[in-house]
Amino acid sequence: MTTRQAEKLEVLPHRQLSPHLENCCLRLSAVVSYEQAERDLAYLTGVRVPAKTQHRLVHRQTFALPEIEQPIEEVCVDGGKVRLRTPLGEECEWKDYKAIATDQGMLANFHNNAQLTDWVNQQPLAKPLVCLGDGHDGIWNIVGQIATAPQRLEILDWYHLKENLHKVGGSIKRLNQAEALLWQGQVEDTIALFINCQRKQAKNFCVYLQKHQHRIVNYEYFQAEGLYSIGSYGVTIR
């Protein structure tokens, strides 16, 4: 490709792919393996970009962080798993990653929680700053590095709270009563429902409630007032 052709096609020096084709490669590589991205790209465009080139292209990128236009009011911290490729015949490996979603953008990282908290703390933050998360210690350890304790309003995500409740099993009537109480933030009354239950799941759930009692709010009130709409990756507290 001549210099004039590269300028016309807006191709950067020492590259042979157009900006649009690079974007196609990056989008495919974000959701499938590099080998599959090579096959998908060839099928969709008729252009073959080898898997190794796809790999180099991803690692060459500098991805811009979200730009914040006004103070962040809500932060949700959650985690997930990514599958690492292993040699043929060996078991695959799954590794944890963490992500922070705000009312103005989302940021995820692998084995670099400090980048997540540093980015949030560098932004203008509202008072209070609502922090949503599930019951995992790793999530609240990250939340504990954001802003200051007096500034944070920590809330246990309703979806996960309800999910853990129904893991208890047993009486449907009691589960419905417990859900109604928790919806109004009545933790002590909820624990009283299970105080005589000998099921291991019930005992574990009571410990879970006691541990996160300060994070269990009156969700009914929050919904009625239209307060704080984000949750773990789009799951609202409604």
Domain boundary among 18, 34, 59: 59
Residue 233 resides in a domain: no
Domain termination residue (choose one: 13, 35, 59):
59
Closest Cα partner for 25 from 36, 43, 37, 14?
37
227 belongs to a structural domain: no
Q: Is residue 67 part of a domain?
A: no
pTM for the structure as a whole: 0.75
| Number of folded domains that form the chain | 3
Q: Which of 50-54, 81-85, 129-133 has the weakest average pLDDT? A: 81-85
pLDDT of residue 197: 87
Q: Is residue 138 part of a domain?
A: yes
Same domain? For 141 and 179 the reply is no
Q: Is 235 inside any structural domain?
A: no
183's tokens:
């919806």
89-114: pLDDT as tens digits: 888 888 888 889 888 888 888 888 89
> pLDDT digits over 161-193, tens only?
999 999 999 899 999 999 999 999 999 999 999
List the domain range (segments joined by +) for residue 21: 3-59
In a domain, 39, yes or no: yes
In a domain, 118, yes or no: yes
- Residue 208 pLDDT more than 80? yes
Residue 199 belongs to a domain:
yes
Q: Are residues 134 and 163 in the same domain?
A: no
Q: Where are the beta strands (DSSP E) in 85-216?
A: 93-102, 105-109, 125-133, 152-156
